[in-house]
Amino acid sequence: MDEKRLLELLERFRSGELGSGEMLEQLRLLPYEDIGVARLDLHRALRTGAPEAVLGTGKTPGQAAAIVRRMAEHADPVLLTRATAEMAAAVLAAVPDARYHETARCVVVQRARLPLLPGVAVVCAGTADIPVAEEAALTAELHGSGAERIFDVGVAGIHRLLDQVPLLRQMRAVVVAAGMEGALASVVGGLVRAPVIAVPTSVGYGASFGGLAALLAMLNSCAAGVAVVNIDNGFGAGYLAAMINRLGAEVRE
């Protein structure tokens, strides 16, 4: 339940449309709601400004559908990450206005279309990194920030990145997704004035150890202002970028 819905609820109580018993029943949902397969944190949007996201990994299609359906009754937007095609089909059957973003592997329910605050760029090294980068970009957009996508600009052809520096220097936060040796985050960090959120991806040959090599390289970056999230964690990077962007805009105001 977000701030707007809570204010609407209080106004209905004040006007007499809701009785005290009904009001109490609605308020019981504020901490969380137990639906059997999950305890939904319906109060998170009120506390943090963003509703709880749902991780699809480890859930059955039926469990994911039940969670998203109930979340959509109380929150906007609703984001399901790491959704398989079968999971997405189950959710779309339960929530017809949901949308499946196949590349990002996400299902989204978004009913209110708000203006997006510019200030976030999502950069990735190669085409194979795009699913993680798209997860980050989509997450940033769902949390109120426009996301400039700058894809396939890895260090093996660094001239592709240098062409984008004027755009990157306009950003308040930059997400960089890269596998292999993960060098792109350090390079970007040395070119921009904004915080860089590095996302190591599991892309690479055997010695990349499923993204561990990129993770360690990013953690050891010699560029100041580079922070690192977990391997393939596009959601976490996009969420953090949107948060930085929003707070930065508020400071300027």
The ranges assigned to domains in the chain are 31-109, 117-252
Average pLDDT over residues 220-227: 94
Of 26-30, 197-201, 213-217, 238-242, the range with the lowest mean pLDDT is 26-30
- pLDDT tens digits for range 143-180: 999 999 999 999 999 999 999 999 999 999 999 999 99
Give the pLDDT of residue 197.
98
Give the pLDDT of residue 29.
60
Instruction: Report domain 117-252's class.
Output: alpha beta
Going by pLDDT thresholds of 50, 70 and 90, the confidence category of residue 126 is: very high
- SS3 letters for the chain? CCHHHHHHHHHHHHCCCCCHHHHHHHHCCCCCEECCCCEECCCHHHHHCCCCCEECCCCCHHHHHHHHHHHHCCCCCEEEECCCHHHHHHHHHHCCCCEEECCCCEEEECCCCCCCEEEEEEEECCHHHHHHHHHHHHHHHHCCEEEEEECCCCHHHCHHHHCCHHHHCCCCEEEEEECCCCCHHHHHHCCCCCCEEEEECCCCCHHHHHHHHHHHHHHCCCCCCEEECCCCCHHHHHHHHHHHHHHHHHHHC
pTM, entire model: 0.85
Going by pLDDT thresholds of 50, 70 and 90, the confidence category of residue 233 is: very high
